[in-house]
Amino acid sequence: MYSGFLIVHDILRWLLLLSLVITLAKYLAGWLGNRRWKKTDNILGIVFTSLVDLQLLTGLALYFFLSPVTKLALSNFSTAMKDANLRFYAVEHLSMMLIAVVLVHIGRAKSKKAKVDRKKFKTAFIFFFIALIVMLAAIPWSRL
């Protein structure tokens, strides 16, 4: 079961990043091009946010129930903090990804509330871009 969830988590990572790059490109073009916010722009935000939420759920299942790495780290937390690899999975990855999820949801909510189309694009772009930077910093690239 662990392997299956890990594969899903890995695949979702790439779908999420692809969705994010497409969404950021569209939102930047909308912001700088002073374009109208269309239904497709809203759908891009919904798809990206949904992928983020799905990724969060699979990650939490791995973290709390399935991962032998986090089970080891949580069984002796003080020792885990001295091991960079265990600390990364026990604290850093989880914390940074939660921050990214919060940024995505704030950006989505604020952009939906904006009255001006340019402000919708700008707000979503800025929050999503910052979330991207946090996500890239938190991805365990050595495991690819």
Q: Is the pLDDT of residue 110 over 70?
A: yes
pLDDT tens digits for range 119-138: 999 999 999 999 999 999 99
Distance linking the first and last C-alpha atoms of the chain = 20
Q: Tell me the DSSP string of 45-90.
A: HHHHHHHHHHHHHHHHHIIIII-HHHHHHHHTHHHHTTSHHHHIII
Query: What is the distance between the alpha carbons of residues 88 and 94, in angstroms, rounded to a whole number?
Result: 8
pLDDT grade, residue 141 (50/70/90)? confident
pLDDT digits (tens, 9 = 90+) for 37-76: 999 999 999 999 999 999 999 999 999 999 999 999 999 9
At position 5, the amino acid (one-letter code) is F
What is the per-residue pLDDT for 105?
Answer: 98
Cβ(122)–Cβ(25) below 8 Å: no
- How many distinct structural domains can be found in the chain? 1
CA dihedral sign of residues 93, 57, 67, 7: negative
Query: CB within 8 A of 129, min separation 6: which ones?
Result: 24
Task: Note down the domain range covering 115.
Answer: 2-143
What pLDDT score was predicted for residue 144?
55
